[in-house]
Amino acid sequence: MAIITKNIQGAKTILDGGGLVAIPTETVYGLAAKATDPAALASIFKTKGRPSNNPLILHFPDFKAMAPYIKAIPDGVRLLAAKFWPGPLTLLLPKTTLVPDAVTAGLPRVAVRVPDHKLTLGLLNQLDYPLAAPSANPSGYISPTKPSHVNIQLGDKIPMILDGGNCEKGLESTILGWNDDGIPTIYRKGIITKGDLETVLNKEVCIYDSHSQTLEAPGMLSSHYAPNTRTLLSSTISEKIDENKHLKIGLISFKNAYEGDVAITKEIVLSSDGALDEVAYKLYAAMRELDGLGLDVLLIEKVPDTGIGKAINDRLTRSAITGTK
Ligand code: AMP
Ligand code: MG
């Protein structure tokens, strides 16, 4: 198993030598490596079983540190960084040759962000290179939001997990880029919403439609964030329970506990107040817990499709598509 520690110097030594360290962020735990070392990058892909055409996000201690890796800064980037960094916003910007092609899967843009976590910012400030880090889970599975999540799945493959406790937000970052017409475009929904971005940019932001266009961001594949247990998503959850009443059911409810007659093996209510930030914070741990119980089916209640509810429903939809193993 990996060492779970708060020792930044120990993490730096491993990373300097081309090794992997799991790092806490406010979104989810990342599997980090020295971004300028192609061999270290290769071990990220190998450890996760990640397809090499799925690019990685670069993490910086601040806006200034990013400059050598970015060729041009579109209008609005400074405003967004000033408002949301450190924080759960990833920007797709044109890369310089300092960024190895393995980071971007050969794409001309690199994904960058400044994470909002004291321990990881402390580490990044000690390094003279950015950290490339995808989520610290086997490719396609639910992202980790606690050190134990990482340790159970990757603990025998990596030497160290930096212990930053539970991730405060619990959902992957919003990804924003500028399309060929210069229009700001959301490539992945997250805690920072379309409305939040429009307020800062003072213009309309569009949402990338992955069904109608060629694949620009392979991580946006529909198969993602999925438990091993067959997973069904519904906004009329009692009907789904009735349809599956002869099975061993795990239930994740949004706000209200199920009050019907069907026996549920285990139910988790995410937020009795109906608070979407609480749902985001608790969702992945709840999915992992129920996925470990050997159930026949995992039923998850959709959340209201407003604000960060859109990002939550986006992840749930992707989980449900492939939860058939
Ligand atoms: P994760 O690996 O779980 O942290 O997710 C990283 C996300 O960022 C994936 O959805 C990637 O596809 C996306 N991403 C990273 N770099 C790029 C890029 N250059 N262009 C488009 N999407 C990117
Ligand atoms: Mg991921």
Q: Take atom 9 of ligand 1 and give the residue whose Cα is closest.
A: 219
Ligand 1 touching residue 18 (CB < 6 A)? no
Query: Is pLDDT of 223 > 70?
Result: no
Mean pLDDT, residues 169-174 taken together: 98
Would you state the pLDDT for residue 325?
33
Nearest to 192 by CA among 212, 169, 215: 169
Tens-digit pLDDT profile for residues 57-90: 999 999 999 999 999 999 899 999 999 999 999 9
More confident residue, 244 or 213: 244
- Give 116's pLDDT tier (boundaries 50, 70, 90): very high
Alpha carbon nearest to ligand 1 atom 1, residue:
134
User: What is the reported pLDDT for 46?
Assistant: 98
pLDDT digits (tens, 9 = 90+) for 277-319: 999 999 999 999 999 999 999 999 999 999 999 999 999 999 9
Q: Return the pLDDT at 217.
A: 52
Q: What proportion of the chain, given as a percentage, has pLDDT over 90?
A: 92
- Residue 144: which of 312, 285, 289 has the closest Cα? 285
In whole angstroms, give the CA distance from residue 264 to residue 55.
40
What pLDDT does 313 receive? 97
Relative to the alpha carbon of 216, which ligand is closest?
1
Q: How many CA atoms lie within 13 A of 145 on its CB side?
A: 22
Of the bound ligands, which one is closest to the alpha carbon of residue 221? 1
Task: Say whether pLDDT at 213 is over 80.
Answer: no
pLDDT given at position 321 = 65
Average pLDDT for the chain = 94
pLDDT digits (tens, 9 = 90+) for 123-147: 999 999 999 999 999 999 999 999 9
In the predicted model, is pLDDT for residue 101 greater than 50?
yes
Q: What is the DSSP letter of 110?
A: E
Strand order in the sheet with 231-234: 231-234, 297-301, 249-253, 266-269
23 Cβ closer than 6 Å to some ligand 1 atom: no
What pLDDT score was predicted for residue 63? 97
What residue type is 262 in one-letter code? Answer: V
CA of 191 to the centre of ligand 2 (A): 16
Residue nearest to atom 2 of ligand 1 (CA): 134
What is the pLDDT, as a whole number, of residue 209? 79
User: Does the CA dihedral 96-86-20-10 come out positive or negative?
Assistant: positive
**H or E element, residue 39:** helix 38-48
Residue 225: C-alpha distances to residues 61, 171, 201, 240, 264 (Å): 27, 11, 30, 21, 23
For 240-294, give the secondary structure using H, E and C.
Answer: HHHHCCCCCEEEEECCCCCCCCCCCCEEEECCCCCCHHHHHHHHHHHHHHHHCCC
Report whether residue 221 contacts ligand 1, using a CB cutoff of 6 Å.
no
Of 1, 59, 62, nearest in space to 34 by CA:
59
pLDDT at 224: 73
CB of 55 sitting under 6 A from ligand 1: yes
pLDDT at position 225 is 84
Distance CA(319)–CA(315), nearest Å, equals 6
CA of 218 to the centre of ligand 1 (A): 7
Give me the pLDDT at residue 216, please: 53
pLDDT over 70 (residue 323): no
When mean pLDDT is compared across 39-43, 62-66, 295-299, 320-324, the lowest value belongs to 320-324
Q: What is the pTM of this model?
A: 0.95
Asked whether residue 160 carries a pLDDT value surpassing 80, the answer given is: yes
Question: Quick one: tokens of 205?
Answer: 């932001």
Q: In what order do the strands lie in the sheet with 30-34?
A: 3-5, 160-162, 21-23, 30-34, 131-132, 57-59, 109-113, 89-94, 174-178, 184-188, 206-207
As given in the structure block, the two tokens for residue 120 are 């990881």
Distance from residue 55's CA to the centre of ligand 1 (Å): 5
How many Å is the Cα radius of gyration of the chain? 20
- Asked if residue 219 has its Cβ within 6 Å of ligand 1, the reply is yes
Tokens (6 digits) for 282:
């608790």
* Residue having the nearest C-alpha atom to atom 4 of ligand 1: 134
